[in-house]
Amino acid sequence: MSGGDGKKLVRSPSGLRMVPELRSARSPFGLDEPPWVPDKECPRCMQCDTKFDFITRKHHCRRCGKCFCDKCCSKKVPLPRMCFVDPVRQCAECALVSQKETEFYDKQLKVLMNGATFFVTLGTSDKSELMVCRLSNNQRYLVLDGDNHYEIEIMQISTVQILTEGFTPGGGNTRAIGMVLQYKVPGSEEVTQMKFTASEDFSCNKKLSASWLAAMHKATKLLYESRDQ
């Protein structure tokens, strides 16, 4: 894995951010700061339509960049996807989204970094290898260790399909048992596929693997959002 993971403190109109010195070193789950809607283009709150004046001041949501009154944009919520050091002002809708993401950064990211054990099958091979799979500390690589060693750059992953079992017509009662991911080999357009299957050796492994797959499912959603920005 490449180095260059140094960080620097920068100040923007939105607040203090601790960002990677190199843009190429940013987290694949990160989001760029949005441009603010210019003051002259928002004479009224974009939520409640209250007219701004000397008493009713306008505020910008740090996540969407839209313009609101204090009542509609009063919450200060952590926003790690934009590398803010402190909680920042967000509108009610964005604050709700950011609060839901907090669980990923507080819990699921640690699960991914701690890793889990899977049987890994490469491409169309009929042989699988028992490997420990984890997310690198800089969040940019999926690291697989067994008899062989692989490092898959998260940004090169094109699709992730979580495999489940126990589906019922009414929904629910399913559990994650593996995943299939496809990724591009750096320097080429070749797409490689890997299949991960949870080890059934010990019940504790099954539980850990299911938790890791659930965290990977959430990580994939954030990854897609970052790409669509």
pLDDT digit string, tens, across residues 53-72:
989 999 999 999 999 999 99
Q: How far is CA 157 from CA 150, 151, 184, 194, 229, in A?
A: 14, 12, 6, 11, 17
Q: 């693997």: which residue's tokens?
A: 209
Q: Where in the chain is the domain with CATH 2.30.29.160?
A: 115-166+175-223
CATH number of 115-166+175-223: 2.30.29.160
Instruction: Give the phi and the psi of residue 169 in degrees, each rounded to 5.
Output: -55, -30
Which residue intervals of the chain bear CATH 3.30.40.10? Answer: 7-111
User: HSE-up of 192 (CA within 13 Å, CB side)?
Assistant: 15
Task: Say which residue the tokens 């995943």 belong to.
Answer: 179
**Length of the chain in residues, anyone?**
229
Bridge partners of residue 64, in order along the sequence: none
**Cβ atoms of 214 and 108 closer than 8 Å:** yes
* Range with lowest mean pLDDT among 113-127, 158-172, 173-187: 158-172
Summarised one tens digit per residue, pLDDT across range 182-212 is 998 877 788 999 999 987 765 557 788 989 9
Question: In terms of Cα–Cα distance, which of 10, 113, 96 is closest to 61?
Answer: 96
State the Cα–Cα distance between residues 83 and 25, nearest whole angstrom.
13
Domain 7-111 fold is Herpes Virus-1 (3.30.40)
Check: CB of residue 144 under 8 Å from CB of residue 117.
Answer: no
Percent of the chain scoring above 90 in pLDDT: 66
Is residue 1 within 8 A of residue 144, CB to CB? The reply is: no
| DSSP 8-state secondary structure symbol assigned to residue 84 | B
